[in-house]
Structure 1
Amino acid sequence: MQFWRSRPATKLPIMLNHQDIVDSLTENNKTHAWGSRRIGKDELYVARIPSTAGTGLPTALVVKKFQNANPALLVDDNVKNRCRSEMILLASICHDNINRILDVIEREEAIMLIYKYEVNGSLDYWLHQPKDAGRPLSWPERRAIAIGVAKGLCHLHHGCNKPVVHHNINSSNILLDQNFKAVIASFDDAQMNMAGLDQPLPITDLPPGNFGYAAPEYGVAASELTEKVDIYSFGVLLLELVTGRVANGAGVDGLLAIWARDNCNELMANHLKMFKIAVDKGIPDQARYMEEMATVFKLGVDCTVGDPKQRPYIQMALKRLRHNRGRGSFCGLLIL
């Protein structure tokens, strides 16, 4: 078939046994390693392969399988185009905080993209796991995750030949490696904006986003979407890291971004007396990091304002995260 004649760029040697990988794609190995906005479109598997000494290859991989909705049908142009668009996009991006394609397997009935499996799973699991399932993430770990995601987004928005908009930043799509380094995954709906930064994106068939993470302009001004939709989602992620709340909760609090915006001034008043109540109870040694967590919370609020033009660029958000790292200063509460 050879619809793609050059392999994606990768630092790892391509020495994978394709037949071992294909044989491992059983029903029991299906996974939700990351979430897609397009429900039921393509399937994800975790493939576990024998380790080859000295190659540096992972022993577990995520396999994304592109095939027709009717599995009895062979690969057609629609399947090829879906796969090709993701390959071309990710082959042009090389960054430590962005998931990359290791290999591609082509068969008559399906095309499979091979990704590294990040052994600590998704950020969503670590933030919202059952209380008895394992240890909570410390604040230094959460801060490092926030900075890692910001660095990845900064590369997408400002470091590529043309800005790339992810469209689906959420805690399920932030994977954590063995050192809890953040890796952005799920590029199903990502777009390269050929018109450049701040220019509207050509949106045609993008389905509704993850409720709670999706910027309000998706529903009211779909013809005016820019990279600032990722800033909104990133802001929700920051609020999630600080509070431990889900982005779209039940009850009177509802959407995390709206709750944070409505209560921000009260939470920040009186030397953070109320803010202490809002912080994730699972974070150890909270008093040591309270003011720093407050500055990240305020950044999350600034990133989720309704007007996209008022949201900071990811470069500024990254600068603010780095500036307040390890500081006890309250200056981060100011809008920079």
Structure 2
Amino acid sequence: NLSTPYPATERMGLVWSHPAATQPIVLNEQAIVDNLTEDNVERMWASRTTWEDEQLYLVHDQGATEIGRPATLAIKKFQNENPALQVDRNVKYRYKSEMILLVSNSHDNIIKVVDLIKREDAIMLVYEYPVNGSLQSWLHQPMDASQQLGWPQRKFIADGVAQGLCHLHHGCNKPIVHHNISSYNILLHRNFRAVIAGFGAAQINMAGLGQPLPITDLPPGNFGYAAPEYGIAAGELTEKVDTYSFGVVLLELVTGRVANGGGADGQLAIWAQDNYNDLMANHLERFRTAVDEGISDQAKYLQEMASVFRLGVDCTVRDPQQRPSMRMARKRLCCGRGRFDGLITCY
């Protein structure tokens, strides 16, 4: 029965352990195709490049093997605007671009393509879907108070995202710019290992790290996460746009605020820049009021949370050249475990 979901306690239960090795998933392709119904259409991650002829489906494959449980799969279906037609060159180009990028750059913190299904009228990429949902739902739409993320889990998630972005920027033959980092596109496994999804707008920068990207028609990004240069210097975009978005996610993890809230505070990154000095004064007394109330044992982790907040502020400065690289951002995350002194010197 492919349409039977996991119980809510399994989907949302807090489990804290080290990442387990991913087991191979054996798929029943025809059963997957048969279960791509309107009932299974989901918004599993936020797309920057929205195509009317692309849909995401969530399928629970009882016949697949994944650590003794049914495998949860995300299916991205590519087809022509008129689904009665056979797939054309445009459809083939889009699925090939995403598949090649992901398959050739496998990493524990990047969503995995586990199969490709071809039919005359559609092509489907099959992804392994982390069943704990998105970071956005955990931070901003928890089912109840018991589903609040603790600080060790938040720090673990931040480090996983940093590792994934480090791999994209520094670990591939050519840098890959994601263009769509947000808490919507960070998915979580049962053990809260973070997985970056939403690669529809990703680009390989053939010119190399730090060089401008050849962008001509990239749609607007998720407001609140998109770096300011998208609107003012589109011809000078580099991988530092991902650093900016990552910084917003760090600020979300510490404060529990949404990236783009209403009212006077507006965008989280701008609020953090404007209030940073005040929040860090008087031995972090003011900073305590900015920390997410859902984080337990705040006094125990206050220094570390302040360090991560500082990193979020540094990642979201307006000048992209002043932002740290993702390699440096991750280094600061790893060494910022001690006492906060107002300045991180882990360079």
Structure 1-normalised TM-score? 0.93
Pair 1:130–1:285, CA change in 2 (3 A): same
1:23 aligns with 2:23: no
Cα deviation 1:21-80 (Å, max 9, x = unaligned): 001111111111111012344110011112456887852100000111222222111111
Q: How does 1:296-311 map to 2 (within 5 A)?
A: 296-311=308-323
Tell whether the 8 Å contact from 1:58 to 1:117 is kept in structure 2 after alignment: no
- Tell me what 1:330 maps to: 340
Residue in structure 2 matching 1:47, options 59, 82, 89: 59
Which residue of the partner structure matches residue 284 of structure 1?
Answer: 296
Residues 123-171 of structure 1 deviation map (CA, whole Å, 9 limit, x = unaligned): 0000001563751000000000000000000000000000000000000
- DSSP 3-state at the match of 1:59: strand
- Structure 2 residue 67 is the aligned partner of structure 1 residue 75: no
Correspondence 1:210-229 to 2 at 5 A: 210-229=222-241
1:217-248, CA deviations, whole angstroms, 9 ceiling, x for partnerless residues? 00011010000000000000000000000000
Alignment counterpart, residue 270 of structure 1, candidates 282, 299, 302: 282
After superposition, the Cα gap between the structure-2 partners of 1:120 and 1:44, relative to the gap in structure 1 and judged at 3 Å, is: same
Runs of 4+ residues deviating >6 angstroms: 54-57
- CA change 1:68–1:48 in 2 (3 A) is same
Q: Which residue of 2 aligns with 1:85?
A: 97
Equivalent residue, structure 2, for 1:3:
none
Shift of residue 207 of structure 1?
0.2
**Aligned-residue offset at 1:261:** 0.2
Aligned residue number for residue 215 of structure 2: 203
User: Which of 149, 174, 183 in structure 1 is aligned with 2:161?
Assistant: 149
Q: One-letter code of the match for 2:134?
A: S
- Post-superposition shift, 1:332? 6.2
Q: Unaligned regions of 5+ residues in structure 1, if any?
A: 1-10
- Partner Cα distance (2:66, 2:116) in 1: 22
- Aligned residue pairs total 324
Give the Cα separation in 1 of the matches to 2:341 and 2:193: 27
Deviations 1:284-303 (A, max 9, x none): 11110011100100100000
Deviation at 1:103, TM superposition (A): 0.3
| Contact 2:26/2:64 (<8 A) preserved | no
Alpha-carbon RMSD across the aligned residues, in angstroms, is: 1.7
Q: Which of residues 118, 136, 141 is equivalent to 2:130?
A: 118
Q: What's the offset of the Cα at 1:92? A: 1.2
1:242 equivalent in structure 2 = 254
Summarize the Cα distance change of 1:133–1:111 in structure 2 as closer, same or farther, 3 Å threshold.
farther
Letter of the 2:28 partner, please give it.
N
TM-score by length of 2: 0.90
Secondary structure of residue in 2 paired with 1:73: coil
Change (3 A) 1:207 1:35: same
Among 124, 128, 144, the alignment partner of 2:140 is 128
The answer to whether the Cα contact below 8 Å between 1:294 and 1:333 also exists between their aligned partners in 2 is no
Partner letter of residue 31 of structure 2?
Answer: D
For the pair 1:257 / 2:289, whether they are aligned, the reply is: no
Once the two structures are TM-superposed, the CA of residue 334 in structure 1 deviates from its matched residue by: 3.4
Counterpart among 104, 107, 115 of residue 95 in structure 1: 107
C-alpha distance in 1 between matches for 2:156 and 2:89: 41
Alignment partners' CA distance in 2, 1:90 and 1:67: 20
Native 8 Å contact 1:14 1:103 kept in 2: no
Q: Matched residues in 2 for 1:285 and 1:54: separation?
A: 35
